[in-house]
Amino acid sequence: NVKKSSIIETSSLGDERGFLAVLETQSNIPFEIKRVFYIYSTKEDIRRGFHAHHKTRQALVSVAGKCKVHLDNTSRKEEVTLDSPNKILILEPNDWHEMYDFSNDCVLLVLASELYDSKDYIRDYEEFLKVYSKSTSEV
């Protein structure tokens, strides 16, 4: 079955000093976090991503600025705006994703369930459809 992406709201711990938001395995991130990377200083009109995965699950949060994410799980296409440090997008391996409309100050933080492995990427859209569209019919 195709797994559905989801959006999680983190609560910020705020006091007179400002705010602090926590991402933690089990308490709000539904996988063991093995890797963290961030995308920043993205040039104007750039669109990146253009892949799905075999195994990796990811959590995306724009900790500064904003960007949009195009999602496609073969049964459903969706656009998500990440514009808050409290809005976490959980991506399943079957979510083809493209990120775009980055603000100049956008820092897109990504938590991943697996170590980097280029073999876990599906970068060809036709291959993506082959791998995942079969299960779509069951949804």
- Any idea which residues carry the catalytic annotation? 51
Whichever of 4 and 35 has its CB closer to ligand TYD, that residue is 35
The minimum distance between CB 22 and ligand TYD, in angstroms, equals 22
Whichever of 19 and 37 has its CB closer to ligand TYD, that residue is 37
Given 32, 34, 37, 127, the residue binding ligand TYD (CB under 6 A): 37
The C-alpha atoms of residue 102 and residue 46 are separated, in whole angstroms, by: 8
Q: Which of residues 54-113 bind ligand TYD (CB under 6 A)?
A: none
Strands (E), the chain: 6-9, 12-15, 18-21, 35-40, 48-53, 58-64, 67-72, 77-82, 87-91, 96-100, 107-112, 121-122
Whichever of 35 and 66 has its CB closer to ligand TYD, that residue is 35
Given 5, 49, 61, 69, the residue binding ligand TYD (CB under 6 A): 49
Q: Count residues contacting ligand TYD (CB under 6 A)?
A: 6
Handedness of CA 64, 68, 73, 78 (dihedral sign): positive
As a whole number of angstroms, the longest Cα–Cα distance in the chain is: 53
Where do contacts with ligand TYD occur on this chain (CB under 6 A)? 35, 37, 48-49, 51, 116
